Every structure is written in structure tokens, then in C-alpha cells.
Amino acid sequence: MSETRHEGPRRTPHFAVILGTNEIASAVAVHLHRSGYGVVLSHDPVPPVIRRKMAFHDALFDDLVEVDGVFATLADSSMSIRSGLARRDGVMVTNLGLLDLIVIGSIDLLVDARMNKYQVTPDLRRLAGVTIGLGPGFSGGANCDLAIETRPGKEGRIIQHGPTDAPDGVARPLGNSRSERFVHAEVPGRWHTAIEIGTRVYKDFLVGQLGGETVRAPFDGVVRGVVRDGTEVPAGVKLLELDPRGRNANWTGLDARALIIAKAVTRALSFRKVKPAERGASLPVK
């Protein structure tokens, strides 16, 4: 006589909240989703997201968004988030802040991926089972459980005790270009543009307008990132990024640096219970 098996109730996935909707936050979301987490990305307006074809950001506007085979949906109520956690069919983006998300249920993992390099960094500890801070301002054991370095050349280092590097303002190279591939907002205002990511533009091409001032392309290239039309932006933030690599230009999928950082986040979870290390000790990325 064959034995009949009855499956128990479907287990609720671990609840992960990622602060930020940029390409780094999105790469982390992809990896956590594939690791079995229910993932919610919480939008923060500063700095505005430019690499939107590598990010889940545009799902905030109910656009159909997919990154590396993972889809995102807009969830702006506790009920829709609970429903999404039960379905496990992708990740969710929301305009709800951390205080709103905490009341939905215990957060197993909190990752701050906002990359607010020059703002005061909050103390994340005790807000979730494990808290991880990405980039400048975070210090393992001080304002988060674990910190991960994002500085080019050091990205992916897991820091248990001590701070990440302070920002140095040096852009990593892309082809033969560094900081000159970015256009920054000279004044605060509402950004207007009709340009699409992936469009080839030429030097001095009119890209958009900010506060009545025209913004033009600094050289020939492919638009790798641009702030979404209609966004209110502060002065100093990046509005546009050009890829100078011609046929080798890339503006979709997982960004290479973001992928290293995302893998470090999933790997860092296995170090959560390691013995205390010397102050400043770090674990190199593999």
C-alpha cells in the first residue's frame, strides 16, 4: 500500500529589505531573491538613479522592469507586500520607508544600498536580524553588523570591525573615460529629458533641461544612464552617464561592480557568527 504524502503549509521566505533602488541595490536584490529571500527595495530620492536599465527603479512608476531574468512589481501597501512575499514570483519596489516596513513583520536582513556617500549614516543595528551597510559611512560593528566596501579596486571586501573607505571623488575608468563621462546638475530643479538609455549621442547633443538651462552631451557616446524625466533633483547629483566604448557599450543587465558587491552580501551572511576579529580586519572578496 503506497504512502500518501501531505505537504505542509508553504513556508514564508526570509524577509529582506534593501534601502535604495539603484543598480547596486538591484543586483543585491537579484541575488537575495535567488537565495530564497522575499525582497523589498525601498526607494530613496537622493541620489537619483541614473543606470535605470540595470536597476528595478522604474517599477516605482508601474513600468514592466526585469533585471537578469528577475521581475519587479510596485507594492505600496503592507497588504500588497505581504501578498508579494507569499507569491515569491519576483522582487518588490516601494515608496514606503523603513518605519513603514518594520511593522509588516520582523526583517531578517536589512541592506543599506543607497550610496549616500556624503550624508549622515544611520545606525542600522537591531533593526533587523542582520544589518549590512554598503560603502562610505558604514563601520562594521559600529553602525551596522557588517560593512561592505564599494570603492573601486576594493569592492566586495567584507568588514566585520571598522569603517569602509571614505569617498575620494575618483570615478572608476570606463573605456578611456573617468569622471568626464558624467554630467552633474549645476542647480537644483526639475529635470526634463526625452532621451532614452541606449541612445547614441554626439558631442553637444541636447540631452535635456534643468531649471530652464540646457544640458548637452560632453562627448560622443551611448547613454548608459540618465535621470528619469520629471524628477526633481538637488544640485551636484549626476544627471547623465555616457559610455564611450562604441560597440562595446553596455547599459543593461547586472553592472560588473554591482555584481561583485551583491555576491559579497550573500557571502557575508555566512560570516555573521564568526568570532570577533581585530579592529579594521576585513575579508577579501572571492
What whole-number distance in Å separates Cα of residue 237 and Cα of residue 123? 24
Closest CA to 110 of 123, 91, 94, 95: 123
DSSP 40: E
Q: Average per-residue pLDDT in the chain?
A: 89
Distance, CA of 167 to CA of 117 (rounded, Å): 7
Nearest to 114 by CA among 16, 10, 44: 44
In order of 93, 113, 123, 157, 179, the CA distances from 133 in angstroms are 19, 7, 10, 12, 25
Instruction: Identify whether the C-beta of residue 135 lies closer than 8 Å to the C-beta of residue 164.
Output: yes
pLDDT value of position 171: 83
pLDDT in tens, 233-251: 999 999 999 999 999 999 9
Q: What pLDDT does 10 receive?
A: 47
- pLDDT over 90 for what percent of the chain? 77
Exposed e or buried b for every residue in 103-119, given b needs 16+ CB within 10 A?
ebeebbbbbbbbbbeee
Query: Is 80 exceeded by the pLDDT of residue 275?
Result: no
Residue 246's region, left for phi above 0, alpha for psi from -120 to 50, else beta, is: left
Q: Which domains does the chain have, with CATH numbers?
A: 15-168+256-283 (3.40.50), 179-244 (2.40.50.100)
